Amino acid sequence: MSRPHHGNRHGRSEAARQAVLEAADDLLAEKGFAGVTIEGIAARAGVAKQTVYRWWKSKTEVLVEAFLQDLAQELTPPDHGDLSLDLRAYLRLLARFLGETDSGAVFRALIAQAQLDPAFAADFRERYLAEQRRRDRLPLERAVRRGELPVTLDLDEATDRLVGPLYYRTLVTDQPAGGEFTDRLAEAFLASLEP
């Protein structure tokens, strides 16, 4: 036996955890969501299958943990102190994330999984989408605080109208969403708020 064991009374092996998450990451990039299997993850990570099952319920759980931890860092909305600038910048950031990064690909896969598995959907929405939702509405909240937007504005629905078209393009029509598109989306959004 070449590799040492690292059993330990006080909690799990961080090395094994990281190996699993990285293996899941790699496999997703290589073979796509359907090509990821728990057996494959374990084999790639050099880890026993049981070790995966000990800590995660399904491959989806692994992928959730593997990829969505980066969401916060990658997607913190900028704060320029100006609504129009903020929206433009954030929509560009979000568009790039959803459409061009590996994490975005996983994000899409997880949302897809949520359509197919109601139990997962509830868990995923509670643990991760809620947080993402908070980021999505943050630029608007700041603008209300600055007085750029009226406090009477329904921020939930406004957020839907702001980012909804972008998610729609990415998930449903699969058309590219470049900077021009997001800039015009921001403009139209602002125009709809004019009196």
Partner DNA sequence: CCGTAAACGAGACGGTACGTCTTGTCTTTTC
Partner DNA sequence: GAAAAGACAAGACGTACCGTCTCGTTTACGG
The contact set with DNA (CB under 7 A) reads: 1, 3-13, 16-17, 19, 37-40, 46-51, 53-55, 58-59
Pick from a second copy, DNA, none: which does 113 bind, CB < 5 to 8 A by kind? a second copy
User: Which of 53, 168 has the CB closer to DNA?
Assistant: 53
User: Which of 18, 188 has the CB closer to a second copy?
Assistant: 188
| CA angle, residues 63, 14, 50, in degrees to nearest 5 | 65
Structure tokens at 61: 């759980």
Pick from DNA, a second copy, none: which does 152 bind, CB < 5 to 8 A by kind? none
Nearest to 174 by CA among 74, 118, 125, 105: 105
User: Which of 117, 183 has the CB closer to DNA?
Assistant: 117
User: Which of 14, 59 has the CB closer to a second copy?
Assistant: 59
Q: Identify the helix (H) or strand (E) that includes residue 127.
A: none
Pick from DNA, a second copy, none: which does 16 bind, CB < 5 to 8 A by kind? DNA
User: Which of 18, 168 has the CB closer to a second copy?
Assistant: 168
Residues at the interface with a second copy (CB under 8 A): 32-34, 108-109, 111-118, 121, 125, 129, 133, 154, 156-157, 160-161, 163-169, 171-175, 181, 184-185, 188-189, 191-194
Instruction: Please state the closest distance from residue 169 (CB atom) to a second copy, in A.
Output: 6
How many CB atoms lie under 10 A from the CB of residue 24?
A: 27
For CA atoms 24, 30, 36, 37, give the dihedral sign. negative
| CA angle, residues 175, 74, 60, in degrees to nearest 5 | 75
Instruction: Please state the closest distance from residue 63 (CB atom) to DNA, in A.
Output: 12
DSSP assignments along 11-36, one per residue: S--HHHHHHHHHHHHHHHHHH-GGG-
Question: Which residue type occupies 154?
Answer: D
